[in-house]
Amino acid sequence: MTQKSNLLLITLLIVGLNCWSQAPSLLNINSPSDEQNPVLSLDGKALYFTIANHPQNVGGKKDPGDIWVSLKIDNVWQKPIHGGRLINDANYNSVAGFSVDGTILYLLGHYEQNGIPTSQGISSSTKTLNGDWSFPTKITIPYFLNRSGFLHGQVKDSLFVFSADSYSTVGGEDIYVTRIRNGKWNEPIHLGKTINTPLQEWSPSLSEDERTLYFASNGHKGLGSFDIFSATRLDESWTNWSAPVLLSDSVNSDARELFYREGNGQTLFTSTRDSNGYGDVHELQKPNQFSPIDTLIKIVENKYEPVRSNLVTLSGKVTNAKTKSGLAATIQFKSDTLITASSDAKGFYQLKIPATSIYTIELLKKGYVSIVERLDIKTFQLRNLEMNYQLQPIEVGVIVNLKSVLFAMGTTNLLNESYTELDAIVEFLKSNPKVEIELEGHTDNRGDAKKNLLLSKERVNRIKTYIVSKGISARRIKGKGFGGSKPIATNDTEEARKLNRRVDFLITKN
């Protein structure tokens, strides 16, 4: 290939990356607020989407998202109207899809007539005679758990594909699928590590034939913060996938792309590129031709590799796990050096850190339980990474899972990576001298039940001994072992059993 043709192909690639734009018909929809999750009605005449932090939301500007609706008249989307208080509350509200006849609206999350929902899952709302939607009815999915502040997903026929921080999650949020059979939903299936990474996978959707998965990720090699990828299901297991492909020349940019949705002959997604606000709705304006960026680069020249900075821009939001409102908190990144950042009054933060280390991240806020977790970005070629956190207020009854406190199998020997989180508990108790806790030890259900019960008690005692050795009064710490009697996942696979082998602590006094 000649130098002239190389330059021509590079030029075509750059033009291709910028060929999508906001459709004129969408101008009435986008605003200085954050538009998310566009979902078309089955007849294509109504567009449902979520707007975050809008002053007319049920919770006002602090509301993480309400459902709004725009009607299509003369091929132009009209100014959106609020979806109403029956399908909106002060929590995050978003549409998952419609039934095949269009009479049922599926919603992400549960609703309560009065107060905050105490359960998780999806809900259904029925179209009334006057065309409105009824108050949502809870749909229960067995072993459904989402520790994240947001639930993204799509209900398509008898399937629900979603992203959540759940039992088998290997990163921030992973993608799962569940199917309804004989009127009951199955336990969610983790889509596996071909799709899910140690970072975040969001906003999944399926093609019409349910063979192709579209999703946003900051853990696969992309162009910016979150990019849209596709993968093909290779069999009926939902865990065997082709390698994810970056949707390049028509969708992705160096901004943040999410919520890729196909339906009624249209393809919609959201992007922060050249947006009126944080995120706007865009429509794919040309035939759907996707080419992996890496393949195009190899065509240009086999030896070419993109130049990347060794700095990663980290950004995200810190919220109150109970109220979902933003929090001003301290965020520490510890490796060979200490890097400290702070979120603002609305919970937002941003900083740059070297992409050459394994970090221990600790979030600190007076009156809240600290968070400690590990971030390995040595193996990821990233420029932008979004990490969101929820802090639990210090209240009696709050349960905190010690994710990083691990034992050698069948013993009370703590693994080395356990001590960072244990030391954080010590500092938490020193900073809150009135707090008392109860340690709870759990095992899986393999082996002798009496031996498992004894092992769980011994592990609790091992942790208590360590905390007391650091200067915390033993009177402030109680402990119980439950063996395998309180699983949080099935014991059918090793991955699920690993989740059941855990230690929690319960705040008993504040």
What pLDDT does 336 receive? 73
What pLDDT does 277 receive? 59
Rg of the chain in Å (alpha carbons): 24
**φ/ψ bin of 259: left (φ > 0), alpha (ψ from -120 to 50), beta (otherwise):** left
Flag whether pLDDT at 494 surpasses 80: no
Distance, CA of 475 to CA of 453 (rounded, Å): 23
Amino acid at 144: F
At 186-207, the pLDDT tens digits run: 999 999 999 999 889 999 999 9
What pLDDT does 195 receive? 96
Q: 486: pLDDT confidence band, cut at 50, 70 and 90?
A: confident
Flag whether pLDDT at 51 surpasses 50: yes
Distance, CA of 96 to CA of 39 (rounded, Å): 8
Residues near 334 by Cβ (< 8 Å), separated by ≥ 6?
359, 360, 361, 362
Q: Over 111-126, what HEC string results?
A: CCCCCCCCCCCEEEEE
Domain boundaries, the chain: 3-300, 307-393, 394-510
pLDDT above 70: percentage of residues in the chain = 87
Higher pLDDT, 308 or 336: 336
For the whole model, what pTM was predicted?
0.61
- Report helix, strand or coil for 458: helix
- Report helix, strand or coil for 463: helix
What pLDDT does 276 receive? 61
Mind giving me the DSSP string for 177-226?
A: EEEEETTEEPPPEE--TTT--SSBEEEEEE-TTS-EEEEEESSSS-SSSS
Distance, CA of 348 to CA of 325 (rounded, Å): 11
Higher pLDDT, 236 or 15: 236
For residues 314 and 385, is the Cβ–Cβ distance under 8 A? Answer: yes
CATH topology of domain 3-300: Tachylectin-2; Chain A (2.115.10)
Flag whether pLDDT at 414 surpasses 60: yes
Residues near 60 by Cβ (< 8 Å), separated by ≥ 6?
none
Distance, CA of 171 to CA of 178 (rounded, Å): 19
Lowest mean pLDDT among 82-96, 278-292, 320-334: 278-292
For residues 410 and 454, is the Cβ–Cβ distance under 8 A? Answer: no
pLDDT above 90: percentage of residues in the chain = 40
Flag whether pLDDT at 342 surpasses 60: yes
Q: What is the mean pLDDT of residues 484-507?
A: 77
At 361-399, the pLDDT tens digits run: 888 888 899 888 888 776 555 677 888 999 999 999 888
**φ/ψ bin of 447: left (φ > 0), alpha (ψ from -120 to 50), beta (otherwise):** left
Dihedral sign for Cα 188, 189, 194, 198, please. Answer: positive
**φ/ψ bin of 60: left (φ > 0), alpha (ψ from -120 to 50), beta (otherwise):** left
| Ramachandran angles phi, psi of 387, nearest 5° | -135, 120
Hey, which bits of 380-509 come out as E strands? 384-386, 389-391, 399-401, 436-441, 477-481, 503-509
Q: Which CATH architecture has domain 394-510?
A: 2-Layer Sandwich (3.30)
Lowest mean pLDDT among 111-115, 139-143, 452-456: 111-115
Q: What is the mean pLDDT of residues 43-58?
A: 93
DSSP 434: T
Counting every residue written for the chain, the total comes to 510
**How do 95-98 and 76-77 pair as beta strands?**
unpaired
For residues 504 and 486, is the Cβ–Cβ distance under 8 A? Answer: no
| Ramachandran angles phi, psi of 40, nearest 5° | -85, 145
Distance, CA of 489 to CA of 71 (rounded, Å): 43
Largest CA distance in the chain: 78
As given in the structure block, the two tokens for residue 404 are 């990083």
- The per-residue b/e assignment along 6-16, b for 16 or more CB within 10 angstroms, e otherwise, is eeebeeebeeb
What pLDDT does 495 receive? 65
Q: What is the mean pLDDT of residues 302-307?
A: 37
What pLDDT does 378 receive? 66
What pLDDT does 379 receive? 57
The CATH number, out of the four listed (2.60.120.200, 2.60.40.1120, 1.10.1520.10, 2.30.110.10), of the domain defined by the range 307-393: 2.60.40.1120
Q: Could you identify the residue written with the tokens 């395998």?
A: 484
Average pLDDT value for the chain: 83
Higher pLDDT, 492 or 270: 270
Q: 110: pLDDT confidence band, cut at 50, 70 and 90?
A: very high
What pLDDT does 62 receive? 87
Higher pLDDT, 469 or 510: 469
Flag whether pLDDT at 238 surpasses 80: yes
Distance, CA of 152 to CA of 214 (rounded, Å): 12
